[in-house]
A and B are shown apart, each in its own frame.
Chain A
């Protein structure tokens, strides 16, 4: 009974179009005033203590970091890097768009921000290259949704606030589903582009597709090697010399190396001899570690076999792709282009390591990682890329504060609301009732998906998560659903909701960039949206997709 009154009141107020936060607050106020003996004064205290938690403060920091990156030319460099890697396949720029969205999603926690950052650069380029407008808009609108699935993610922080699930574990759990979704969207893009014969990019004239692919991969391997190998060596050296406080020195040494590397990447010696070593060592090394993840027993013998096998294959491959120069394998053609763009976008890519590496290794708490990434993004945008002038900083701060305050205000009122629900014991009652109806895990998850997709039609993600999570979470726990898996499922639902009308924010952002109507965009988006729905079903019923990585890392049971 009380539950009915509360929800009728809430939805009634919401439908008048007032801000969601105000309708939440008014519901609580009205209910407490009319129906209970709880002193209303406790509301004022709750409005303050509701957000008095350090974990919540990750949200403003991530928003600030995202704003610095959007303004700071990081997106443009990531697009160039992605184009140099996948641009020569079918639907080149479209694929590059998917990859760039995935990369940017790894440094930004918001979907619309990803669409703006990537879309405003790549959509005009795609139209100019001869892609139909609809194709580009469809790719970017849906790929931009990766922003909240690939960590960091503001929606995941919201979920963790509402349910007390660990943010770090949720972030790690988002990695594999995020990559999988990026792959699925990319595959669809490739297939449609091939069917319709959309343009491919030819970075170097007169090269075949196979040649370009080999050279690209060689360039990627060499870049990774040149970045990581000295840092690993330094780290091993320092941690053996300095047992105490070595980690911090190693980080400083790593930064020093990257600063130095910027000046070395152009030298002829590096481009030939370091490249040769990297080309011969990196692929078997990567395969070896991938093997170790799946078969933990794989020993040094397996590494040796891989290396020998690769050496036999490597030289003919390099000859085929015309990468050989005298006795050495040299960075030429596409390999050189990948190399250049990798080193230009390195500062943006490193942010992924600051956030995920920092949280996983326990160097930072998620909130500290968010603050560090904001400072780092500021430093990169202003001093390294110099795309942001110091005079623009107050504006960026103000915009971030505006957006964060709005989200924090919703959180405050949602905490108030869930306090009311808990004190009336509504979530427990609902859980008991649902289980009493004989609801199993499978049908419950189906119901959750339908409910959230429906809610995605009228509300934006933060409000949905904050209102529904406290109610659905106890039921999920009683049915034995993993809290982390449940969080990823909710996040994927939010992604779908952002890409379809009437309130899909990504659609509006894309419509602003492309000057296309919402109806036309909706039609443009549907093939990718359908893929996302297939992906949603996979994530819902195969919890291993979300839970595998956190389990391997030992963050959850």
Chain B
């Protein structure tokens, strides 16, 4: 159950990231391709309207931001000013960390509730988005869903910190695929390829 939620979250934000990039890419290519006077093809291109691409991209990224922020709590990417509290001895430090996590849970919980009320109200109106003409309550659903998920993640992290004393930590210096330094990397000019002739 927990695993499924984790995976769903990861897949959703990775998908939104990739999809939004593709949408903008296609819209830009379409804009310039339809300017070329190639016969028949241009007429066909001109019948397609991609004016909604920008709006779609914004909504996708907002959804990604809300759910990604929840994922970020789990990976410990949300940094604060921890210089001071890290100087403290164990117990007061743990107290501050738990307070910070509780505050996060409180804030996201409040925002989620307000968002839910807001979505409920707007759900009874006929408001639609300007370009996509999608009901606004679906679009705004990102706030309660994302915030409640984030609230849940804060509680989850706080619980595991309480029990094990470990916090998730995001390592900025770590890059996937950079581990193996190959020997040819160490001697920058000894790259082997057949693309170019050697010294004549």
Where the two chains meet, the residues of A that have a C-beta atom closer than 8 Å to any C-beta of B are: 13-23, 25-26, 29, 40-41, 43-45, 47-48, 51-54, 57, 60-61, 64, 70-71, 76, 79-80, 83-84, 87, 93, 96, 112, 116-117, 120-122, 124-125, 128, 201, 203-204, 242, 244-245, 247-249, 262, 265-266, 268, 271, 330, 332-333, 336-337, 339-341, 343-344, 363-364, 367-368, 371-372, 374-375, 388, 392-406, 408-409, 412, 457-460, 502-503, 505, 508-513
A211 to B25, CA, bound (A): 46
Task: Contacts A48-B143, A248-B32 given; indicate if A399 touches B100 (C-beta within 8 A).
Answer: no
Interface-central residue, B14, B32, B170, B173, by most chain A CB under 10 Å: B173
Asked if B188 and A249 make an inter-chain contact with CB atoms under 8 angstroms apart, the answer reads no
Question: Which listed residue (A93, A364, A408) contacts B65, Cβ 8 A?
Answer: A408
Question: Which listed residue (B35, B58, B189) contacts A244, Cβ 8 A?
Answer: B35
Which residues of chain B come closer than 8 Å to A271, judged between CB atoms?
A: 197, 200
Asked if A120 and B175 make an inter-chain contact with CB atoms under 8 angstroms apart, the answer reads yes
Asked if B100 and A398 make an inter-chain contact with CB atoms under 8 angstroms apart, the answer reads no
B67 within 8 A of A: yes
A349 to B99, CA, bound (A): 48
Which residues of chain B come closer than 8 Å to A18, judged between CB atoms?
A: 80, 99-101, 103-104
Which residues of chain A come closer than 8 Å to B58, judged between CB atoms?
A: 52-54, 57
Asked if B195 and A266 make an inter-chain contact with CB atoms under 8 angstroms apart, the answer reads yes
Asked if A19 and B189 make an inter-chain contact with CB atoms under 8 angstroms apart, the answer reads no
Q: How far is the CB of B124 from chain A (nearest CB, A)?
A: 15
Which residues of chain B come closer than 8 Å to A343, judged between CB atoms?
A: 195-196
Which residues of chain A come closer than 8 Å to B142, judged between CB atoms?
A: 48
Asked if B200 and A330 make an inter-chain contact with CB atoms under 8 angstroms apart, the answer reads yes
Asked if A245 and B188 make an inter-chain contact with CB atoms under 8 angstroms apart, the answer reads no
A156 to B111, CA, bound (A): 29
Task: Contacts A47-B143, A266-B196 given; indicate if A402 touches B83 (C-beta within 8 A).
Answer: no
6 A-B pairs with CB atoms under 8 Å apart are A80-B191, A203-B189, A247-B32, A343-B196, A392-B176, A404-B17
Q: Which residue of B lies closest to A416 (CB)?
A: B111
Question: Which listed residue (A70, A204, A368, A395) contacts B24, Cβ 8 A?
Answer: A368
A27 to B146, CA, bound (A): 20
Asked if B114 and A79 make an inter-chain contact with CB atoms under 8 angstroms apart, the answer reads no
B148 within 8 A of A: no
Which residues of chain A come closer than 8 Å to B126, judged between CB atoms?
A: none
Instruction: Name the prevailing secondary structure of the A interface residues.
Output: helix
Asked if B189 and A368 make an inter-chain contact with CB atoms under 8 angstroms apart, the answer reads no
Asked if A244 and B79 make an inter-chain contact with CB atoms under 8 angstroms apart, the answer reads no
Asked if B18 and A397 make an inter-chain contact with CB atoms under 8 angstroms apart, the answer reads yes
A502 to B82, CA, bound (A): 10
Question: Which listed residue (B36, B86, B199) contacts A249, Cβ 8 A?
Answer: B36
Asked if B80 and A19 make an inter-chain contact with CB atoms under 8 angstroms apart, the answer reads yes
Which residues of chain A come closer than 8 Å to B107, judged between CB atoms?
A: 22, 25-26, 29
Asked if A41 and B114 make an inter-chain contact with CB atoms under 8 angstroms apart, the answer reads yes
Q: Which residue of B lies closest to A408 (CB)?
A: B65
Question: Which listed residue (A25, A57, A406, A512) contacts B72, Cβ 8 A?
Answer: A406
A80 to B175, CA, bound (A): 20
B85 within 8 A of A: yes
Task: Contacts A22-B104, A83-B189, A116-B178 given; indicate if A368 touches B28 (C-beta within 8 A).
Answer: yes
Which residues of chain A come closer than 8 Å to B195, judged between CB atoms?
A: 262, 265-266, 340, 343-344
Task: Contacts A405-B68, A458-B81 given; indicate if A52 touches B62 (C-beta within 8 A).
Answer: yes
A404 to B62, CA, bound (A): 11
Asked if A408 and B61 make an inter-chain contact with CB atoms under 8 angstroms apart, the answer reads yes
Asked if B81 and A20 make an inter-chain contact with CB atoms under 8 angstroms apart, the answer reads yes
Asked if B80 and A23 make an inter-chain contact with CB atoms under 8 angstroms apart, the answer reads yes
B5 within 8 A of A: no
Going nearest first, the 3 A-B pairs with the smallest beta carbon separation are: A405-B68, A512-B173, A18-B100
Interface contacts beyond A20-B81, A508-B172: sample of 14 additional A-B pairs, CB < 8 Å, sorted by A: A22-B100, A22-B104, A26-B107, A71-B176, A120-B178, A122-B188, A128-B186, A330-B200, A392-B176, A395-B176, A402-B68, A406-B78, A458-B83, A512-B174
Which residues of chain B come closer than 8 Å to A13, judged between CB atoms?
A: 103
Which residues of chain B come closer than 8 Å to A513, judged between CB atoms?
A: 173
A283 to B14, CA, bound (A): 47
A116 to B181, CA, bound (A): 13
Asked if B173 and A406 make an inter-chain contact with CB atoms under 8 angstroms apart, the answer reads no
Q: How far is the CB of A234 from chain B (nearest CB, A)?
A: 16
Task: Contacts A14-B80, A54-B57, A116-B178 given; indicate if A505 touches B189 (C-beta within 8 A).
Answer: no
Which residues of chain A come closer than 8 Å to B61, judged between CB atoms?
A: 51, 57, 60, 404, 408
Which residues of chain B come closer than 8 Å to A125, judged between CB atoms?
A: 185-188
Q: Which residue of A lies closest to B82 (CB)?
A: A17
Q: How far is the CB of A203 from chain B (nearest CB, A)?
A: 6
Contact with A along B5-22 (1 / 0, CB 8 A): 000001101111110111
Which residues of chain A come closer than 8 Å to B62, judged between CB atoms?
A: 48, 51-52, 408
Which residues of chain B come closer than 8 Å to A508, judged between CB atoms?
A: 172-173
Q: How far is the CB of B89 from chain A (nearest CB, A)?
A: 14
Q: How far is the CB of A327 from chain B (nearest CB, A)?
A: 16
Interface-central residue, A22, A53, A395, A412, by most chain B CB under 10 Å: A22
Q: Which residue of B lies closest to A93 (CB)?
A: B188
Question: Which listed residue (A248, A372, A409) contacts B25, Cβ 8 A?
Answer: A372
A17 to B79, CA, bound (A): 8
A65 to B160, CA, bound (A): 34
A412 to B143, CA, bound (A): 12
A193 to B78, CA, bound (A): 40
Q: How far is the CB of B162 from chain A (nearest CB, A)?
A: 16
Which residues of chain B come closer than 8 Å to A116, judged between CB atoms?
A: 172-173, 175, 178
Which residues of chain B come closer than 8 Å to A204, judged between CB atoms?
A: 199
A364 to B28, CA, bound (A): 8
Asked if A47 and B115 make an inter-chain contact with CB atoms under 8 angstroms apart, the answer reads yes
A285 to B64, CA, bound (A): 49
A16 to B185, CA, bound (A): 44
B33 within 8 A of A: yes
A408 to B58, CA, bound (A): 12
Q: Which residue of A lies closest to B140 (CB)?
A: A48
Which residues of chain B come closer than 8 Å to A332, judged between CB atoms?
A: 199-200
Interface-central residue, B69, B143, B187, by most chain A CB under 10 Å: B69
Task: Contacts A121-B181, A244-B35 given; indicate if A337 touches B82 (C-beta within 8 A).
Answer: no
Q: How far is the CB of A127 from chain B (nearest CB, A)?
A: 9
Interface residues of B in 45-61 (CB under 8 A from A): 54, 57-58, 61
Q: How far is the CB of A405 from chain B (nearest CB, A)?
A: 2
Task: Contacts A17-B96, A26-B107 given; indicate if A80 touches B189 (C-beta within 8 A).
Answer: yes
B127 within 8 A of A: no
Question: Which listed residue (A80, A404, A457, A511) contacts B173, Cβ 8 A?
Answer: A511
Asked if B84 and A64 make an inter-chain contact with CB atoms under 8 angstroms apart, the answer reads no
A468 to B185, CA, bound (A): 42
Q: Which residue of A lies closest to B104 (CB)?
A: A22
B110 within 8 A of A: yes
